[in-house]
Amino acid sequence: MTPYDAARLVSKLESAISGEVGSSPHHTGYYSVDSSSYAVRPDVVVIPRDVDDVSAAVRIAVEAGAPITARGGGTGLVGGALNRGIILDMRNISGIRTVRLGPAGGSVEAEAGATRGRLDDVLGASGMMFGPNPSVGPFCTVGGMVANNAAGSRSLKYGATIDNVSGITIVDGKGNLTRLPEDADTAAGIWDIARRIDRSRYPNVPKNSSGYRLDAVSSAGDAHRVIAGSEGTLGVIISATIDVVRRPESRTLHILEYEADQDAAADCLALVGATRPSAAEFVDRTILDNIGGGFGGSTQCLLFVEYEGRGLEPEGMPRAGGPGGGARGEEGGGGEKGVASLARRSTRQTVITDEPEISRWWRYRDSALHYSLVSIDDDTEEVVPHVVEDAVVPLGALPELFALLRHMRQKYGARIVTYGHAGSGNIHARLVLKKGGTRHLRRIVAEYFERVIALGGSTTGEHGDGLARSEFVEMQYGQENVRLFAELKSLLDPSNVMNPGKILANGGGALSENLPDSH
């Protein structure tokens, strides 16, 4: 990107924007970081009052040749919303409007700055919910969920954000308000590119946030789907029409204890294959040590397996009578017996049907990232680079993914904290290194990703490429698909001002240039 005059950029924004414009060290310092390990200081922060402000800011960015990057709740883990130039804080564009609601579900139009917490409150009043549920819960925004193609623990049943949107409005890289798929010319252009991709290079996994999801576009009517997971590189997300469903009337949660991750992986395959759980989540011993719960020393990991249903009969479970149980180590009746017979390698099981108790256990699981970070030993100067933390493989390859992680531990002497969405083949691996060990990081990352891709997986299931993984997109998809990614980028952002350097890394280097010394 060509140099630009930052002072002139700020002056033009101050003259044109009706919302807030800030360029003090306080403003730019605050927006230089997010929940990742990275830091990039912008030149100016704009908090637009409305869509007109967004369009004006984009046009000024194009004229100046300056980057412009939208930001939601700052909860991203790979630096996807960090950049130079202009940061757009979308907090004021936050309306939620009901489109339709019926007995089983419906849709709402939610603006980018609406938080997930507020969305839950609005939908909860009607007994509805949005299926994807990122663990950061109320703090992320609708725009961020779309930009990263967020998923969460219940994507096993409800899919990722890309599976739950029917329309998206953006301000494109020319400053124009564009509604997809209704904008026929733009939709046709996206479909023309999508028709030419090599779909064999896309992994056959239930969720994927690497590159541009052109594989999800099967006609011009699907053109909006390519915006999901695009990390603000194709336009500023203004709003999305999202599909919502009725909240389940009951839940049953099984806590399954294991002495080894390979045993948990094998049982997870059996459970997901034979039943229809809404979630099948994994946590390792590091997480157990933080949540307590009376687990014995031989227990090294857990599976959280949840079923949703009406009344007290979990959907998708083997039918053998009524439900039951709730005490540790006891089989309940009916469905619980089905889980017990399939979870053959589990050493102990808990069946929970009490809703407050289920919610308490899910709070433990949703705090796994926090627990992994508090396990860092500051005295030995450990660091956790957010690079190899979101791989996803086909469910049948889950045992091999755990074997790969064991190999990486042994080969590089690293400590790896593991947790995540086992039922989707998406394991979050927190690589913990001594500061001096980061010199080996590129080799570790390349070896890990090469093997994940060979297993038919993706380098990122739900967190995106960002600063951490954009340079590995070509490894994932090949040169020809990346050339088509660049064609898509040029279609919607011809001046390359929309969050440049993400997904299309322009030759790579993001990892080495932005790798922090600590977190």
Residue 514 has pLDDT above 60, yes or no: no
- Model confidence pLDDT, tens digit, residues 278-316: 999 999 998 888 887 778 889 999 999 999 985 333 444
The single residue listed with the structure tokens 């204890």 is: 257
Q: How far is 386 from 391, CA to CA, in rounded Å?
A: 12
- Model confidence pLDDT, tens digit, residues 255-271: 999 999 999 999 999 99
268-277, 285-294, 489-498: lowest mean pLDDT where? 285-294
The answer to whether the bond into 3 is cis (omega within 30° of 0) is: no
Burial class (CB in 10 A: 0-12, 13-18, 19+), 344: exposed
Pairing of strands 86-89, 44-47: parallel
- The predicted model scores a pTM of 0.91
Q: How far is 343 from 272, CA to CA, in rounded Å?
A: 11
Mean pLDDT to the nearest integer, 497-519: 64
**% pLDDT > 70, the chain:** 88
C-alpha angle with apex 425: 420 to 427, nearest 5 degrees?
Answer: 30
Sign of CA dihedral 367, 368, 370, 374: positive
What CA–CA distances, in Å, run from 92 to 54, 68, 369?
A: 11, 17, 29
Mean pLDDT to the nearest integer, 8-24: 98
Is-same-fold flag (6-89; 250-310+313-352)? Answer: no
What's the pLDDT score for residue 382? 67
Please state, rounded to an integer, the average pLDDT across all residues of the chain: 89
Mean pLDDT to the nearest integer, 183-206: 98
Q: The CATH number of 96-246 is which of 3.40.50.620, 2.60.40.10, 3.60.40.10, 3.30.465.10?
A: 3.30.465.10
Contact status, residue 422 vs residue 280, Cβ threshold 8 Å: yes
The single residue listed with the structure tokens 């010394």 is: 517
Domain 6-89 has CATH 3.30.43.10: yes
Q: How far is 61 from 80, CA to CA, in rounded Å?
A: 19
DSSP 248: P
Residue 323 has pLDDT above 50, yes or no: no
Helix, strand or coil, per DSSP, at residue 26: helix
What CA–CA distances, in Å, run from 303 to 90, 282, 367, 371?
A: 37, 5, 15, 17
CATH fold for domain 250-310+313-352: Alpha-Beta Plaits (3.30.70)
Per-domain residue ranges for the chain?
A: 6-89, 96-246, 250-310+313-352
227-231, 371-375, 453-457, 473-477: lowest mean pLDDT where? 371-375
